[in-house]
Structure 1
């Protein structure tokens, strides 16, 4: 419960349903080439950028990794509501999860190099 309170930035948690439900619903009601352009823009540009944002946001706030599944789950619920076709909707949700994982773990690949640290002989008293 503390983890959710710590990450309870309402702007962030409100963006997920807006991007997952409202924008696709608005695009679904369009027609013609504008609808195709809207789907491409939403699936490839907006959602991928938002997935990167989610991964970085959760890492900076010290969140547990299991909160990364929230955005793909909201997207998959949108697929279940027929906001996106299920033929590729579930795959895009998986892609968004992978992108979030990359953004969440970015910069953590280097370990502290203990061999490069300078030893202090005699403790702190010997340092001047």
Structure 2
């Protein structure tokens, strides 16, 4: 139960709609240049958040299916026409890939079975 509470910590999950929907909406209403909005919001902030999301889900031992939540929330902003569909679908895929890399980092090496002690007959006194 503690692991579930850790995974569904509202302080972390509230950032997804803020960064995926609210931040692009606010940036669209400002007089900033389009290039600044795209680079700042979509590339720097959202990609860093994708890395943090993957690391958070790995640290809490969450199911891999929760990796899909952040790209889906970003896709909702595309369907609401807050972000452009021209590049939005590609960025959602990119966010998912970044999350997967962060989620699986450190899991490249397999166990070294040759160095393990077999216990077929149980432990015996030496």
**Quick check: TM above 0.5?**
yes
- Check the 8 A contact 2:53/2:99 in 1, yes or no: yes
Of 111-120 and 47-56, the range deviating more from structure 2: 111-120
Residue 60 (structure 2) pairs with residue 57 (structure 1): no
In structure 1, runs of 5+ residues without a counterpart are: none
CA RMSD between the two structures: 2.3
Counterpart in 1 of 2:113? Answer: 114
Counterpart in 1 of 2:74? Answer: 75
Describe the shift of the 1:27–1:124 C-alpha distance in structure 2 as closer, same or farther (beyond 3 A). Answer: farther
In structure 2, runs of 5+ residues without a counterpart are: none
- Check the 8 A contact 1:27/1:39 in 2, yes or no: no
Q: After TM superposition, what 4+ stretches of structure 1 lie above 4 angstroms from structure 2? A: 2-6
Q: By how many angstroms is 1:100 displaced?
A: 0.5
Counterpart in 1 of 2:94? Answer: 95
Give deviations 1:51-84, integer Å, cap 9, x for gaps: 0111111111111111100000000000111111
CA–CA distance in structure 2, aligned partners of residues 99 and 107 of structure 1? 14
Counterpart in 1 of 2:123? Answer: 123
- Check the 8 A contact 2:3/2:60 in 1, yes or no: no
Aligned residues: 124
Describe the shift of the 1:116–1:86 C-alpha distance in structure 2 as closer, same or farther (beyond 3 A). Answer: same
CA–CA distance in structure 2, aligned partners of residues 93 and 124 of structure 1? 56
